[in-house]
Amino acid sequence: VEYRADKTGIVHLSFGKTSFLENELKENLVAVYNSLEKNKPSGVKGKYFKSFHICTTMSPSIALELNTFK
């Protein structure tokens, strides 16, 4: 998974396309979450995310519950 963070700490990445099936998108999203959790800085203790949102290029975002990834 390739991603980047801007100076405010927001991570930008692509995890699927419109041609992907629903289960493929779910698998990719869980893989993104796990990768971010695994690669968090060693100095970070406790909760690493404040919120988790997804959106298409030019649309409003959708907030996701963090406990759905566990």
Structure token pair of residue 65 = 């519950």
pLDDT score of 63 more than 80: yes
pTM: 0.76
Residue type, 58: M
Cα–Cα distance measured from residue 16 to residue 26, given in angstroms and rounded to the nearest whole number: 9
What pLDDT does residue 1 have?
66
Strands 11-12 and 4-5: antiparallel
pLDDT at 17 over 80: yes
Look at residue 26 and tell me whether its pLDDT is greater than 80. Answer: yes
Average pLDDT over residues 13-36: 90
